[in-house]
Amino acid sequence: MFTELIAKYIASEHLLSAKDKVIVGVSGGADSVALLCVLLDLGYSCEAIHCNFHLRGDEADRDEAFVRSLCERKGVKLHVVHFQTAEYAAQHKISIEMAARELRYGFFEQKRQELHAAVIAVAHHRDDSVETFLLNLMRGTGINGLKGIRPKNGWVVRPLLCVSREDILRYLDAIHESYVTDSTNLHDDYKRNKVRLNLLPLMETINPSVRESIALAASRLSDVALIYNKVMEQKIKQVTCTQSDGVLRVDIAACISSEAPRALLYELFSPYGFNASQLDDIYASAESEPGRRFLSATHEVIRDRECWLLCPLAGGRKDESVIRLEEMEGELQLPHGAGMITWQKVKRTAGFVISRDRNTVCADASRLVFPLLLRHVMPGDKFIPFGMRGKKKLSDYMTDRKFSLFQKENQWVLCSGDKIIWLVGERADERFRVNDSTDEILLVKLVR
């Protein structure tokens, strides 16, 4: 009965085809042992992977020995990998759980490609999906967080999502197959274990079939999410555009006037680490003056005049560094993907045409003092815009040109001594213009 149920689920969800080579993640626990056994019973060509994360001392070595014995007995080729998980977590400043996940799935995909396997099968079951639903519900989530665990995600398939942990244990008992138990699953130290050991049993006192009910609700929400995501994708396209510098621009008026602006903001900004409280503040800032800023671990949202700007922190201004251009010719990559600067000194000839392109400046080389300096705009900076006579503050010029706050803070200038030659990618300074007496020209270009 168990085997037939899994076969029907695999077929209905299009998880595997008969000729597929399948990599099976086998920890030695009941779930993964059942997964390997049932796939073998169904005739699939399987190879197993076991990850030793070195987190539980002798118990981890016991699990590895068990899996080796199981695969030898079943005639299944086994690939074992050892990870120093705690060191990896500390190095990347992530939790142990996240580190183990990254290491595990990274190695799974590596082996899938090496072995030319069709899929990677992992042993999540229905109860795991129910626990995920409740955890996401408690931490606060959108509709996509209430779908539970999906049966297929890229190359990863989960054939056991149609059965419960109890079903799995009955199956193993029926085929007289042993397994090992991870002692950490028996303690309520982690949030998932608290849900598994405390919350769900309490909920079952109210509704004995609560697991099945939640799984059914998650399945229905998955269908609803298909429609929701399609509509939301269209709405996001209507209110956003990506600027040339990679900054996402969100039209405030268009967003606020949409049917569900808070849901739209959630889908726009929550993937970048903004929490529910911040999303409320961002929404409220639509009625405030420009200039408010909101930070996540990786991104910044700036309330500009008519839009919200979503900017990666890695692309933001980090210091007041100055880049020196020592030679008369060269090229350099500006930090944070701002583009590449190239420059060269050329003789002015009768046929030389001065470029009108904003990304190019032609300066009279005789008026330049090397090394030239590249730096960000600083408070009080002034220049004489090309074609004008009087000085103008760069801050006023950029405001007139409707620069966003992000653009203002990340704007580069090219300087000769204390004089600005070029507001990079925007406008040259009149004092360095090429005239009839110019013999040599410094040609500087910004390649975006």
Confidence (pLDDT) at 407: 80
Residues 42 and 155 in one domain: yes
HSE value, Cβ hemisphere, 13 Å, CA-based, for 103: 23
**Total structural domains in the chain?**
3
Confidence (pLDDT) at 199: 93
CB crowding 348-369: b at 16 or more within 10 Å, else e: beeeeeeeeeeebbbbbbeebe
The pLDDT tens digits for 213-271 are 999 999 899 889 889 999 999 999 999 988 766 789 999 999 999 999 999 999 999 88
Name which residue leads in pLDDT, 336 or 67.
Answer: 67
Element (H, E) at 406: helix 405-409
Residues 48 and 193 in one domain: yes
In angstroms, rounded to a whole number, what is the distance separating the alpha carbons of residues 105 and 17?
22
Q: The tokens 């993640």 sit on which residue? A: 25
Residue 237 lies in a domain: no
- Are 340 and 334 spatial neighbours (Cβ–Cβ below 8 Å)? yes
Task: Point out the domain boundary residue: 220, 235, 259.
Answer: 220
- How does residue 392 score in pLDDT terms, banded at 50, 70 and 90? very high
Percentage of residues of the chain with pLDDT beyond 90: 53
Confidence (pLDDT) at 185: 59
- Is it the case that residue 31 has pLDDT exceeding 60? yes
Confidence (pLDDT) at 96: 84
Q: What's the average model confidence in pLDDT over 80-104?
A: 87
Element (H, E) at 307: strand 307-312
3-state secondary structure of 316: coil
Residues 177 and 54 in one domain: yes
Residues 18 and 121 in one domain: yes
E runs forming strands in 186-235: none
Length of the chain: 448
Confidence (pLDDT) at 314: 54
Q: The tokens 């030679």 sit on which residue? A: 327
Helix axes 85-92, 96-115, angle to 10 degrees: 110
**Residues with Cβ within 8 Å of residue 251, at least 6 apart in sequence:** 239, 240, 306, 307
Domain with 155 in it: 2-220
The pLDDT tens digits for 284-334 are 999 988 888 898 878 889 998 899 999 887 544 444 467 888 777 888 888
Handedness of CA 84, 158, 217, 127 (dihedral sign): negative
Residues 339 and 384 in one domain: yes
In angstroms, rounded to a whole number, what is the distance separating the alpha carbons of residues 26 and 266?
37
CATH number of the CATH domain containing 175: 3.40.50.620
Confidence (pLDDT) at 275: 85
Please report, as a single letter, which amino acid is at residue 224.
V
Least confident residue range of 166-170, 185-189, 194-198, 312-316: 185-189
- Is it the case that residue 181 has pLDDT exceeding 70? yes
Task: Point out the domain boundary residue: 286, 315, 344.
Answer: 315
CA geometry: angle 97, 102, 105, nearest 5 deg: 115
Q: The tokens 């801050």 sit on which residue? A: 395
Residue 29 lies in a domain: yes
- Is it the case that residue 141 has pLDDT exceeding 90? no
Task: Point out the domain boundary residue: 315, 345, 369.
Answer: 315
Residues 188 and 139 in one domain: yes
Please report, as a single letter, which amino acid is at residue 114.
E
In angstroms, rounded to a whole number, what is the distance separating the alpha carbons of residues 367 and 296?
46
- Is it the case that residue 76 has pLDDT exceeding 60? yes
Residues 6 and 134 in one domain: yes
Residue 14 lies in a domain: yes
Residue 228 lies in a domain: no
In angstroms, rounded to a whole number, what is the distance separating the alpha carbons of residues 143 and 387?
56
CA geometry: angle 186, 189, 190, nearest 5 deg: 100
Residue 238 lies in a domain: no
Name which residue leads in pLDDT, 18 or 406.
Answer: 18
Residues 96 and 206 in one domain: yes
Helix axes 2-12, 165-174, angle to 10 degrees: 130
Average pLDDT of the residues of the chain: 88
CA geometry: angle 372, 378, 383, nearest 5 deg: 65
Residue 227 lies in a domain: no
In angstroms, rounded to a whole number, what is the distance separating the alpha carbons of residues 42 and 412?
64
Residue 7 lies in a domain: yes
Burial (CB < 10 A; 0-12, 13-18, 19+), residue 217, is middle
Please report, as a single letter, which amino acid is at residue 191.
K
- How does residue 191 score in pLDDT terms, banded at 50, 70 and 90? confident
3-state secondary structure of 382: strand
Confidence (pLDDT) at 444: 93
Confidence (pLDDT) at 18: 85
Residue 86 lies in a domain: yes
In angstroms, rounded to a whole number, what is the distance separating the alpha carbons of residues 150 and 165?
17
3-state secondary structure of 152: strand
In angstroms, rounded to a whole number, what is the distance separating the alpha carbons of residues 138 and 296?
21
Closest by CA to 186, choosing from 51, 399, 29, 349, is: 29
Residues 137 and 273 in one domain: no
Percentage of residues of the chain with pLDDT beyond 70: 96
CATH number of the CATH domain containing 351: 3.50.40.10
Handedness of CA 395, 399, 401, 404 (dihedral sign): positive
Confidence (pLDDT) at 403: 85
- How does residue 187 score in pLDDT terms, banded at 50, 70 and 90? low
Residues 14 and 102 in one domain: yes
Residues 119 and 256 in one domain: no
Question: Taking the CB of residue 386, how many other CB atoms lie within 10 A of it?
Answer: 15
- Is it the case that residue 171 has pLDDT exceeding 60? yes
Q: Which two tokens stand for residue 191?
A: 């949030």
Confidence (pLDDT) at 318: 45
CATH number of the CATH domain containing 263: 3.30.465
Residues 18 and 154 in one domain: yes
**Residues with Cβ within 8 Å of residue 280, at least 6 apart in sequence:** none
